[in-house]
Amino acid sequence: MPKAKETVLEIDLKALQHNLEYIKSKLKTNTKILAVVKAFAYGSDAEVIANYLQNLDIDYFAVAYVSEGVALRDAGVKTPILVLHPQAINFKTLIERCLEPSLYNAKVLNEFITIASQEHQKNYPVHIKFNTGLNRLGFDENEVTDVVLKLKTTTAVKVKSLFSHLAASEDLNEKEFTEQQIKRFKTITEQFSNALGYQPLLHLTNTSGILNYPEAHLDMVRTGIGLYGYGNSETENKNLIPIATLKSVISQIHTIKKGETVGYNRAYTSKDIQKTATIPIGHADGIGRQYGNEKGFVTIHGQKAPIIGNVCMDMIMVNVTDIACNEGDEVIIFGTTTNAAEFARTANTISYEIITAISQRVKRTFLDN
């Protein structure tokens, strides 16, 4: 891998392919795969990632919002795209760009049918979401009959899939709850399909569900964090490769005396003569203030250098007293050796938060060999 000469997020597309193949190895050959590429493909680059996966014959994509789907269409993505949380104001755009909405309550269902009818649609693909315990979005089990009756009043839409979302599939202490969700979903979808008169695709599992609950793979699985190299467990993390490495460089090295302070609000006071390195990355780039004051760290020449003082908007300072290094040397914030999950734990958070927080001003580069 090339040495960094500026702050850069290096994205390894072969690692992405490896992760997809590992996830496929857990599935039956006829199980479809939906790749979740919302939030700039978990902070990487949604357009590049989706086009790469499209060439690997992925079956579906999912984004959170219509604007994300529009960006993928503009980038040449032809694969079906499920919009997980569409807003009614964007329904006409959604139809114009051949995106497929998740419909999760009576208001959204009625609004979409109205607009689809006005736009002279016939059998427009929609996805009906049920709440089985996450209590975030979704129709309740007791609404099955009402939803089916509404769908039977129109030819503007046709149900492409029924789905729900597991609340704690990564936590085996919650196995009983997850199994109850799986059972509830199967009951709901059987009732729904029987009443509707045809069988839509069924999907329930996220990455951890794929790995921990093979009985719930059904017709299609959804994978997000797993594609990007994280399995939500120490065991599965070893089978996946983080696709993104956040790198920077040392801009300046200071030698500070005992009692001198570093950074805003004089948050760090030197206990002895120390050497510090200033690095051009800060909270405007996604490294929040919670990583300062010796909680977070970076890696320089394989050694950990704790972040000292408060994280600045565009810079961090680290303690390099015991590290032989020079201005211009490469710095690794997270990657394959120290991954984003390990970095995030220093601030009591999760890999999802740190990787999706990396600002769009950070340059993206891509490896494909």
CATH number, domain containing residue 279: 2.40.37.10
Which 3-state string (H, E, C) describes 108-171? HHHHHHHHHHHCCCCCEEEEEEECCCCCCCCECHHHHHHHHHHHCCCCCEEEEEEECCCCCCCC
Residue 360, in any domain of the structure: yes
The residue-averaged pLDDT of 188-217 equals: 97
Same domain, 112 and 206: yes
pLDDT digits 0-9 by tens, 1-53: 789 999 999 999 999 999 999 999 999 999 999 999 999 999 999 999 999 99
| d(C-alpha 100, C-alpha 151), whole Å | 16
CB atoms within 10 A of CB 213: 18
268 SS3 class: strand
Structure tokens at 71: 């960006």
Same domain, 157 and 280: no
Residue 145, in any domain of the structure: yes
| d(C-alpha 211, C-alpha 227), whole Å | 13
* C-alpha closest to that of 208 among 229, 223, 228, 218: 223
| d(C-alpha 164, C-alpha 130), whole Å | 5
264 classed as catalytic: yes
Q: Which helix (H) or strand (E) holds 42?
A: helix 38-43
Residue 328 Rama label (left phi>0; alpha psi -120 to 50; beta): left
> Do the strands 252-256 and 363-367 form a parallel or antiparallel pair, or are they unpaired?
unpaired
Mark which of 177, 198, 228 sits at the end of a domain: 228
Burial level of 142, CB count in 10 A (0-12/13-18/19+)? exposed
| d(C-alpha 215, C-alpha 210), whole Å | 9
Percentage of residues in the chain with pLDDT exceeding 70?
100
Give rounded-to-5 percent helix, strand, coil for the chain: 35, 25, 40
DSSP state of 29: T
* Distance (Å) of CA 74 to CA 51, 95, 97, 225, 323: 11, 14, 9, 24, 47
353 — phi, psi (to 5°)? Answer: -70, -45
Mark which of 228, 257, 285 sits at the end of a domain: 228
**Residue 201: CATH number of its domain:** 3.20.20.10
Residue 2, in any domain of the structure: no
pLDDT digits 0-9 by tens, 254-305: 999 999 999 999 999 999 999 999 999 999 999 999 999 999 999 999 999 9
Residue of 38, 129, 160, 247 with catalytic role? 38
Q: What is the pLDDT of residue 2?
A: 80
Query: What average pLDDT is seen over the chain?
Result: 97
Residue of 5, 183, 264, 363 with catalytic role? 264
* Distance (Å) of CA 46 to CA 41, 73, 300, 331, 364: 4, 11, 29, 25, 11
pLDDT digits 0-9 by tens, 60-100: 999 999 999 999 999 999 999 999 999 999 999 999 999 99
DSSP state of 219: T
Same domain, 54 and 197: yes
Residue 148, in any domain of the structure: yes
**Sign, CA torsion 47/166/207/233:** positive
Residue 193, in any domain of the structure: yes
Strand-pairing partners, residue 161, are: 127, 201
| d(C-alpha 253, C-alpha 300), whole Å | 13
The residue-averaged pLDDT of 185-211 equals: 97
Residue-range definition of the domain harbouring residue 36: 31-228
Banded model confidence at residue 327, pLDDT cuts 50, 70, 90: very high
Number of domains in the chain: 2
The residue-averaged pLDDT of 203-226 equals: 98
352 classed as catalytic: no
Whether 131 and 123 have beta carbons less than 8 Å apart is answered as: no
Residue 147, in any domain of the structure: yes
The residue-averaged pLDDT of 134-159 equals: 97
Residue reference for tokens 């040495």: 3
Residue 200 has pLDDT above 80, yes or no: yes
| d(C-alpha 104, C-alpha 164), whole Å | 10
Banded model confidence at residue 369, pLDDT cuts 50, 70, 90: confident
Banded model confidence at residue 115, pLDDT cuts 50, 70, 90: very high
Residue 91, in any domain of the structure: yes
Residue reference for tokens 């579906």: 60
Angle 347-324-277 (CA atoms, 0-180°, nearest 5)? 50
